[in-house]
């Protein structure tokens, strides 16, 4: 908490000073009131005492109290809005820094609630519960009834000032409603950024773009903070106006009451009672029970919010798994991050990819792994997989065999339980995460896009000044991935907005954008999870050719025969272990083998190994179609299938485990 409020020492100190001054002025009000009342009583007994002096003193004290109260309220409101802004950013940035096992065990709705409602309740403690006085409705209604019982004319005068206060309150209420609505809308936009980023946290992590989305969130929260600042100033002005109205009410009642007493309309005792009860009605009081309950609620919410903001991620190795904690991550001059990185174990290295040669060899060495949410259920058991430099390696197997788990470990989304994953012989846990993210590109089967333009999504994760993010490079990557085929038909081309999560694009179009994003980064390793599944056969052929033409090593989770056949090596997984490995032809030759059985079950068995033979009739009758191109998507006679016979690993004999 100290780190969050430390930057607001000045407004909090000013608020404390205004609080003391307002309290002193409030203390002086009864003094002047009693002096004036005593003078009135004495004058009623024939004495000649001045009423003007205490009335003037009363007006001065009340005016000062109103001004200091308004300033105090504005200062507390400003401090509260700034504190909650930093709290939200600290929570969000800390979430981006967490190990992904935390997200497996914590629902996204809970996290967004912590960011929104819980953080707001913390602000309420600073801005409202410890500052704002709540009028007690029942006491006010009862007091007004008693005032009319004492004297209807003075009560009407008092009610007229209450009506003035009501008008002022209504004006402020309209202002507050409009401002609050806009503020909530701004907060909703900030929540949308957070929700989308957390939903796509694996993509963010894989692309090393935590600082990018943190900056997007900071800008969204800053917009809400500006509205809250305006709201606070309006609140302070309303407090001054209401305070002046209350002072005017008291002064008018005293003056008119004295005239009425002189005319004999009321007695001195009645006037004294009326003045005290009018003060009672006009006074603000805390609803102690309700406010205390809200404080308790806010303290509970604040504890949960601070837990999110201060949780330390778990990892092994020399470097943390988030680019936010990377030694390579620099803060901009505006202080991009509010996250206190000093409380985390220090990252030890910074190895920018542009300064470090990478051959792209990936090795999983005797890896055993279970997910943090299921520690007793082994997802991988003593798995060894190698992806030689520049080779294309496919992972196949039934659902739940461990293919996606291998991908997640290669991307360092989780830590191995036993064994290690290495890049060029170096344990990826000892590599800087930002550098690792630049060396590895990731394309999912269901690509995740972010609200923005097509070009924004192709560049995602790259700094604006990164040479790779230049327009010419973006256009070239988009051309090779087939993105230009549909953007050239759109009025804004690559600057066309894709909508939230790419809602404006078809599945095939999103796949092309994701592939262009991977090609743009020129990575040492491309990790693909059936990226062409949503493409028609011709687009698949072109995109597959673009991917294969790169010098990158390729680790592919494959289901399509065309992708599998063109691989240099195939690992067939079953129940978290490597059951078979070899080329397509070699694995088909294993009678009763898992791979051959899978091919047969999918009606993709080839009696002869000539790839020019026609596909089974059942396949010809079951084409899949892309969302935007009405042509079959399954083409088992991919030209790249012929590459299998020429594979650099073709001489490696098949193995069955």
Full domain range(s) for residue 276: 2-310
- As a whole number, the mean pLDDT across the chain is 77
Label residue 181 by pLDDT band (50, 70, 90).
low
The pLDDT of residue 517 is: 92
Regarding whether 282 and 195 lie in a shared domain, the answer is yes
Regarding whether 194 and 103 lie in a shared domain, the answer is yes
Domains in the chain, number: 2
pLDDT (tens digit per residue) in 357-416? 578 999 999 999 999 888 889 999 999 999 999 999 999 998 889 999 999 999 998 988
The pLDDT of residue 631 is: 30
DSSP 222-287: HHHHHHHHHHHHHHHHHHHHHHHHHHHHHHHHHHHHHHHHHTTSS-HHHHHHHHHHHHHHH-----
Label residue 637 by pLDDT band (50, 70, 90).
very low
Label residue 348 by pLDDT band (50, 70, 90).
low
Q: Where is pLDDT greater, at 620 or 70?
A: 70
In the predicted structure, residue 113 carries a pLDDT above the cut 60: yes
The pLDDT of residue 327 is: 60
Number of helices (H), then strands (E), belonging to the chain: the values are 23, 11
pLDDT (tens digit per residue) in 246-261? 788 888 888 888 888 8
In the predicted structure, residue 110 carries a pLDDT above the cut 60: yes
Nearest-CA neighbor of 322 among 404, 225, 212?
Answer: 212
Which of 310, 344, 375 is the C-terminal boundary of a domain?
310
Considering only 24-28, 241-245, 610-614, which range has the smallest mean pLDDT?
610-614
Between CA 53 and CA 58, with CA 54 as vertex, the angle to 5 degrees is: 120
Q: Where is pLDDT greater, at 25 or 593?
A: 593
pLDDT (tens digit per residue) in 551-607? 899 999 987 777 788 889 999 999 999 999 999 989 989 988 999 888 887 654 443
Question: What's the whole-number mean pLDDT along residues 29-43?
Answer: 72
Answer for the pair 396, 564: CB distance below 8 angstroms, yes or no: yes
Beta-strand pair 569-574/577-582: antiparallel
Regarding whether 125 and 27 lie in a shared domain, the answer is yes
568 occurs within a structural domain: yes
Regarding whether 393 and 261 lie in a shared domain, the answer is no
Regarding whether 303 and 163 lie in a shared domain, the answer is yes
Token pair 């989780």 in the structure block, residue: 414
In the predicted structure, residue 17 carries a pLDDT above the cut 50: yes
Regarding whether 200 and 273 lie in a shared domain, the answer is yes
The pLDDT of residue 527 is: 93
Proportion of the chain above pLDDT 90, given as a percent: 18
CATH number of the domain where residue 116 is located: 1.20.1560
CATH number of the domain where residue 403 is located: 3.40.50.300
Regarding whether 465 and 372 lie in a shared domain, the answer is yes
Q: Where is pLDDT greater, at 143 or 449?
A: 449
Regarding whether 383 and 280 lie in a shared domain, the answer is no
Read off the DSSP letter of residue 618. H
The pLDDT of residue 286 is: 40
353 occurs within a structural domain: no
214 occurs within a structural domain: yes
Regarding whether 449 and 301 lie in a shared domain, the answer is no
322 occurs within a structural domain: no
d(CA 83, CA 338): 11
The pLDDT of residue 207 is: 86
d(CA 327, CA 318): 11
Global model pTM greater than 0.85: no
Question: What's the whole-number mean pLDDT along residues 263-269?
Answer: 78
In the predicted structure, residue 184 carries a pLDDT above the cut 90: no
Regarding whether 180 and 290 lie in a shared domain, the answer is yes
């Amino acid at each position: 908490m100290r780190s969050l409020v430390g930057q607001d020492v000045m407004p909090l100190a000013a608020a404390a000073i205004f609080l003391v001054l307002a309290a002193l002025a409030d203390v002086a009000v009864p003094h002047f009131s009693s002096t004036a009342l005593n003078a009135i009583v004495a004058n009623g007994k024939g004495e000649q005492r001045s009423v003007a002096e205490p009335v003037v003193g009363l007006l001065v004290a009340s005016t000062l109290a109103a001004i200091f109260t308004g300033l105090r309220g504005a200062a507390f409101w400003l401090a509260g809005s700034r504190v909650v802004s930093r709290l939200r950013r600290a929570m969000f940035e800390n979430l981006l820094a967490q190990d992904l096992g935390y997200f497996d065990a914590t629902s996204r709705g809970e996290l967004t609630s912590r960011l929104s409602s819980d953080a707001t309740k913390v602000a309420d403690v600073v801005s409202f519960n410890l500052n704002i006085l709540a009028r007690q409705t029942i006491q006010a209604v009862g007091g007004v009834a008693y005032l009319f019982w004492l004297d209807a004319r003075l009560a009407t005068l008092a009610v007229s000032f209450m009506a003035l206060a009501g008008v002022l309150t209504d004006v402020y209420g309209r202002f507050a409603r409009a401002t609050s609505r806009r503020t909530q809308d701004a907060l909703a936009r900030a929540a949308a950024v957070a929700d989308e980023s957390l939903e796509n946290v694996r993509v963010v992590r894989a692309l090393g773009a935590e600082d990018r989305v943190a900056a997007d969130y900071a800008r969204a929260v800053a917009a809400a903070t500006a509205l809250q600042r305006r709201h606070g100033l309006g609140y302070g002005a309303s407090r001054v106006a209401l305070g002046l109205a209350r002072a005017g009410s008291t002064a008018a009642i005293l003056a008119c009451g004295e005239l009425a007493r002189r005319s004999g309309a009321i007695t001195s005792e009645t006037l004294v009672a009326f003045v005290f009860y009018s003060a009672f009605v006009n006074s603000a009081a805390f609803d102690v029970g309700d406010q205390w309950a809200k404080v308790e609620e806010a303290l509970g919410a604040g504890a949960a919010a601070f837990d999110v903001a201060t949780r330390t991620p778990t990892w092994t190795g020399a470097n943390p798994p988030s680019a936010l904690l990377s030694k390579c991550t620099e803060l901009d001059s505006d202080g991009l991050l509010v996250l206190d990185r000093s409380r985390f174990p220090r990252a030890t290295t910074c190895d920018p990819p542009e300064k470090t040669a990478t051959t792209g060899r990936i090795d999983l060495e005797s890896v055993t792994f279970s997910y943090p949410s299921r520690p007793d259920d082994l997802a991988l058991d003593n798995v060894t997989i190698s992806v030689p430099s520049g080779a294309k390696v496919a992972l196949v197997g039934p659902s739940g065999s461990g293919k996606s788990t291998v991908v997640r470990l290669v991307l360092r989304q989780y830590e191995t339980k036993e064994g290690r994953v290495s890049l060029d012989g170096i344990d990826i846990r000892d590599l800087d995460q930002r550098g690792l993210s630049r060396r590895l590109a990731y394309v999912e089967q269901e690509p995740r896009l972010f609200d923005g333009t097509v070009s924004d999504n192709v560049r995602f994760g790259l700094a604006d000044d990164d040479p790779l993010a230049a327009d010419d490079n973006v256009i070239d990557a988009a051309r090779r991935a087939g993105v230009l085929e549909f953007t050239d038909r759109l009025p804004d081309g690559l600057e066309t907005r894709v909508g939230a999560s790419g809602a404006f694009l078809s599945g095939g179009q999103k796949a092309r954008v994701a592939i262009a994003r991977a090609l743009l980064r020129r990575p040492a390793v491309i990790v693909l999870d059936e990226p062409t599944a949503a493409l028609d056969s011709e687009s698949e052929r072109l995109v597959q050719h673009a991917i294969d033409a790169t010098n990158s090593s390729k680790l592919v989770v494959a289901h399509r025969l065309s992708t599998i056949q063109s691989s240099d090596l195939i690992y067939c997984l079953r129940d978290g272990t490597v059951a078979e490995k070899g080329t397509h032809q070699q694995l088909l030759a294993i009678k009763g083998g898992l791979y051959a059985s899978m091919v047969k079950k999918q009606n993709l068995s080839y009696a002869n190994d000539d790839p020019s033979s026609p596909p089974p009739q059942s396949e010809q009758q079951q084409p899949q179609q892309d969302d935007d191109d009405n042509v079959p998507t399954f083409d088992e006679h991919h030209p790249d299938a012929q590459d299998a016979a020429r594979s650099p690993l073709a001489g490696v004999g098949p193995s069955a485990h």
